[in-house]
Amino acid sequence: MAIEEMKVRDAFRITPSQLTDNRGRFFEAWRIGELTELSGQPFTVKQVNFSVSSRNTLRGIHGTTLPPGQAKLVTCVRGAALDVVVDLRVGSPTFGMFDTTVQEADSGIGVYLADGLGHAFLALTDDTCMNYLCSTEYVPGTMVDIQALDPALGIPWNTTAELVRSEKDALAPTLSEAVALGLLPTYEQAVASYGPGHRP
């Protein structure tokens, strides 16, 4: 597999090598050793989530306060999605930056997000199913919501279709509003949660 750091610091795109024969396909989605070596962050799965979305559903941007934080490894297991990572860590070298990945079930591509990063996606097909491996159990009241259509972020969703969104996501503050309200984690908080193997 190939693991590459994305434009957002501490986010990684994982592209597996696939073996195909008369039975179908096989691939390793990820290995903890390789991911930990490159990211400098131990990743232990403590919760697994799935979302199923109709075409043109926009979910996010969602993050988590620190503490408790919640690193994620997100993979499309059915359908296709435009997956987006946004740096929500105030003081980060890539604060406010984003990167996109087209995730299709056949590709097996996954995206790893460290604590403090935000995640969103647009479902490109009906019945799009996303799998989330999470480093911590969800704690009610710790989710951070940011406006996915924030013009200052300028995420290219590349659709003119009417979007399907939750009321919570539609009413979420912009990035600058979230900063002013003190809702976002700091880069220092995030780095402290990554452990001693994280690069300076």
Say whether 119 is catalytic.
no
From 112, 119, 132, 198, active-site residue? 132
- Taking the C-alpha atoms of residue 95 and residue 8, their distance in angstroms, rounded to an integer, is 8
DSSP per-residue letters across 101-153:
EEEETTT--EEEE-TTEEEEEEE-STTEEEEEEESS---TT-EEE--TT-TTT
Say whether 132 is catalytic.
yes
| Residue with tokens 């501490």, as numbered in its chain | 10
What are the phi and psi torsion angles at 110 (to 5°)? -125, 160
From 62, 112, 119, 187, active-site residue? 62
DSSP assignment letter at 106: T
Residue 73 burial (C-beta neighbours within 10 Å; 0-12, 13-18, 19+): buried
- Taking the C-alpha atoms of residue 184 and residue 95, their distance in angstroms, rounded to an integer, is 11
- Taking the C-alpha atoms of residue 153 and residue 101, their distance in angstroms, rounded to an integer, is 16
Residue 37 burial (C-beta neighbours within 10 Å; 0-12, 13-18, 19+): exposed
Active-site residues, by number, are 62, 132
